[in-house]
Structure 1
């Protein structure tokens, strides 16, 4: 199973260590309108959620949001964990230290799993070749009446073009074929879920992990497209494959 996991994974522990080492803004405020705030609020308003586990989400921004604003017991599991950073993030956001329970572990470990009412990942499944298999690993953590929530970036529109053109190394760490709402819906249904929502999320956004290293021409192009996209989506107020930066799906076992 260890060999299968390595072959399935488009990244490794060193990749994520380098990724987080390159970040200069890890400690920042998680506000009440943090990314996907409306999704979490909608799910929790409809379902009985007491606890959650965030898979592959170091340093735990979304777990912190659930703890601080929705008063939910939050657990974070990742194969790269730096406890000091998590604690510093809690203190920075006026959350009691050790509010977030964290586990350094492997998603592909076949051991018995503790069960949770809400199992979610934000930007995880697209780093694996076998999308259905990694989604199935999420289900192992789910209580009988629990909710499975997945979010992932959408690199099939304008944002993806920027990634492919100006940060190919990062782009190649993503399984683009997983960024398909129809595919995700079929996977959920095959795994015995009733899909409550699936679709593109967000009006318009683009990003480059290496933006600061780009030349002035690329930075100017980035800024121009950013402004144009914001203006267009302000007029055309709907989410779409071309402009929306994310895909979101959630559902409950039948």
Structure 2
């Protein structure tokens, strides 16, 4: 069995067994800070602008884009069960006029449709050449539209924690992610070669314990991890947004066709 087939079968099973309905959870720090960042830096959709989420399952951010930012939501997914789960979630959350596309984002047919906002959270870091993905997004984005990219950050402190956690996991964190793009400098460099005007680029949310599954790690590591969490994940320290331990990076741009 090939690795690609095994990966696809894992996600088919995963999305088939996802609990619904699913909305963002404001009590979960990552959801909260991502939502706050999007709301602060991206203009409202006014019920007419269309947003595409790339890698959208289970659809909780499509629901957010519709209910909180006023966009008509669309999404795309590679795995069929992810499409079905997202469609069901949108139905349960009473989101009308939503569309979920099925296929490989780099080659799929969007039927000539373009978008006013393109969002991806935890997507481009799985590609060895993420610029190909970003260029594809730009080809679907209207001039003046907004591009929002969020990725987990497995560098700094998180790299050393992930190395230990990976020793206990079947689905390892570090090999599945492109660590080279996990800093602000990478996202700040994109406008040099792409028609992008930076709106917001920074780490957000501080240390995020939920990035790591420590259930199978040794007791000594659990103790160290909980000590880090107690010190770094409390609300006051999170507000400092210390880049060396932050668990997430957000980059938001406006497409400007006049730029190179």
Band of TM-score, shorter chain: 0.7 to 0.9
Aligned partners of 2:21 and 2:244: how far apart in 1? Answer: 29
- Structure-2 change in CA distance of 1:89 and 1:236 (3 Å): closer
CA distance in 2, matches of 1:47, 1:133: 27
2:188 matches 1:195: no
Aligned length: 241
1:183 aligns with 2:175: no
Partner of 1:240: 242
- 1:211 equivalent in structure 2: 214
Please state how far the C-alpha of 1:149 moved relative to its aligned partner.
Answer: 0.7
Moved over 6 A (4+): 46-49
Match of 2:7 among 15, 28, 34: 15
> Could you tell me which residue of structure 2 aligns to residue 30 of structure 1?
23
Give the conservation status (yes or no) of the 8 Å contact 2:41–2:200: no
Partners of 1:145 and 1:245 lie apart in 2 by: 29
Distance 2:203 2:226 in 1: 23
Distance 1:242 1:113, change over 3 A: farther
The answer to whether the 8 A contact 2:153-2:246 is kept is: yes
Q: Which aligned pairs between 1:155-174 and structure 2 lie closer than 5 A?
A: 155-167=154-166, 169-174=172-177
- State the 1:127 CA deviation: 0.3
2:128/2:178 contact within 8 Å kept: yes
Q: Secondary structure at the match of 1:108?
A: coil
Q: Which runs of 5+ in 1 are unaligned?
A: 1-10
Deviations 1:38-95 (A, max 9, x none): 122123437777110001222222112112333321111121132442244345xx51
1:144-159 pair list within 5 angstroms: 144-159=143-158
Residue aligned with 2:209, SS:
coil
Q: Unpaired runs of 5+ in structure 2?
A: none
Aligned to 2:128: 129
For the residue of structure 1 that corresponds to 2:80, the secondary structure is: coil
Q: TM-score, normalised by structure 1?
A: 0.81
CA contact (8 A) 2:120 2:148 kept: yes
Alpha-carbon spacing, 1:60–1:248, altered in 2? closer, same or farther (3 Å): same
Alignment TM-score, normalising by the size of structure 2: 0.79
The structure-2 alpha-carbon separation of the partners of 1:113 and 1:196, relative to structure 1 and needing over 3 Å to count, comes to same
In the alignment, structure 1 residue 79 sits paired with structure 2 residue 78: yes
Given the alignment of the two structures, is residue 39 of structure 1 paired with residue 37 of structure 2, yes or no?
yes
